[in-house]
Structure 1
């Protein structure tokens, strides 16, 4: 039986993936009549883009993962951690009337739920690793961060395959369900490597003049240099380029590869060094036969990948509809009923 609730929703602001998927679920929960209050942590407020659906929201410092030249920097990550501020935010956060906390890998709301015994749902790709799915070797420390950075009582994990586990399909932006009407440009490649330096990407792609590369990431303004097309942040522009490109070269995050698989784009992943989630994603992608992976910006591998055909679209369901239905049912211990329905729905 559905009932509306007062929900506190925590979003990890590092990168755009968490914001992208949380944007879709928050919108759906509000449409269903829930009272949703949003906390965004791990990113400065002036750096947030297209978060109007979260309003009214609050920004807290939380924790930010620091990278340099395609590699995790754990030392700098620990240096920037303000533990006193983090604990103060946890202790002073007002949760009066809150019936459920949803955390998209946000440590503040996760800790608040545990210390105040409020039911909590972990929403996002990271929560799929609670189950038996491909995982990179990594160190004990890296695995503990992945599994315990922002734990929850119930887990709405997401992945590109269910692996015979109670895991939901990826969250796909509503815009991408109109992809069948878009004509694909055969030599157009979308590149999103935000953890790499722009100069390194330029050297990597320069020899392949027969292809048109549309490059997003650490780019501040639009400019064209021959077959290299640099693009500043634009969600609408990015999704448009994603829909009509032939393939995607990106880091091994979760959201963008999921969107590419939904659309039937070929994939080449470059996982972030020292980041077990991305290493696991690259491993899973290759094991599923969904794409290729490279440990460095490898021109020989890129040349091989460019010759490969696209794959058939996976046509994932509107996952947030099933997650919202599960949340509204209050039957949080009956997860498989809703994950099975989502995988059976080929949109």
Structure 2
């Protein structure tokens, strides 16, 4: 079985998820996978050995500045004609299946050439009736047409009685998890100088990974490090908590390791707004709208978050793909969610609001709170 696997390269979360899938698919001799990445320059990819002889295309990307989406720069720096040429030039007919993790070149090449296609992504979860916040008509159009496929598998932290699967996580041995008291900070869309200005007044150690950093350095109590998969994983395994934007993969990894979370969504990005609101509602993370010393200090005083136990979704998905039986997806859904174990306080919250479906969605019409005192006490 030959698979063309397209990955959106604008976010490291997509790549991290693809790493887990690459390892799982490599364990199946009957499957041969070719990876393609788009959305960032080839020179900006790192730690890519697991993907073998991967391909890179320009594709589409987005731009941000100071924690906000820069819509003007995003429009001006994306070339639809160039992307169309990349789609036409890609030969998808040699593959039995095209998988897209929100990657448009492979998705449209498969559609154009009549090759079976499947999306496996967090974005696909928003096609279902899951909590959404800040979504406008443009967001709906992007979700529907950015990387369209014949079939889709969405990934989310909770199923919300929809056909979505638990997160794909590059699982690490739980025995190696510890807590050294440091806080891991990953805010790639914020300006580094602004991050340092907020963290330095506090008398605790921070480890900050940022794309603007070229070599390891220190600024008072903040260790500043360049992006590195191995170094980042080591810091994540050993930290006490994580401060991050509102992506999907890093919070999933942190929850699976029992690390407490403080999340600041990227302004203007409905997916991040929805992610942060969902985790806040489930009692699994605290939130802030802006970088704020007082909010961070309040969060630091909270006790450690309890761990969410997720199964090895990548392995299960790889085995399911090898069987080529789309009709068995409901069984896979049931099997995986039956293995998820939430902390007790999450089960209590779910039992409180789940019976009233309308009330659950009404919660997401409210303004995103700076931080929830109720959740802080539960943590």
CA contact (8 A) 2:68 2:267 kept: yes
How far apart, in 1, do the equivalents of 2:229 and 2:54 lie? 20
SS in 2 for 1:334: helix
Q: Does 1:227 align with 2:224?
A: no
How far apart, in 2, do the equivalents of 1:325 and 1:47 lie? 31
The match for 2:10 among 14, 31, 35 is 14
Task: Please list the CA deviations of residues 2-54 of structure 1 after superposition, one character each: whole Å capped at 9, or x if unmatched.
Answer: xxx11111111112111111121123223212111111111111111111222
SS in 2 for 1:115: helix
SS in 1 for 2:326: coil
SS in 2 for 1:282: helix
- What pairs with 1:31-46 in structure 2 (closer than 5 Å)? 31-33=27-29, 34-46=31-43
The match for 2:162 among 149, 162, 165 is 165
CA contact (8 A) 1:143 1:276 kept: no
Matched with 1:214 is 207
The more displaced of 265-274 and 296-305 is 296-305
Unaligned runs of 5+ in 1: none
How far apart, in 1, do the equivalents of 2:150 and 2:332 lie? 17
When the two chains are superposed, the root-mean-square deviation of aligned CA atoms in Å is 1.5
TM-score by length of 1: 0.94
How far apart, in 2, do the equivalents of 1:156 and 1:167 lie? 6
Matched with 2:280 is 286
How far apart, in 2, do the equivalents of 1:131 and 1:334 lie? 19
How far apart, in 2, do the equivalents of 1:20 and 1:80 lie? 25
Q: Does 1:107 align with 2:104?
A: yes
CA contact (8 A) 2:92 2:98 kept: no
Q: Does 1:181 align with 2:184?
A: no
SS in 2 for 1:156: strand
CA contact (8 A) 2:92 2:115 kept: no
Query: Number of residues paired by the alignment?
Result: 339
- What pairs with 1:246-285 in structure 2 (closer than 5 Å)? 246-285=240-279
CA contact (8 A) 2:119 2:151 kept: yes
Matched with 1:307 is 301
Q: Does 1:202 align with 2:196?
A: yes
TM-score by length of 2: 0.86
The match for 1:343 among 322, 332, 337 is 337
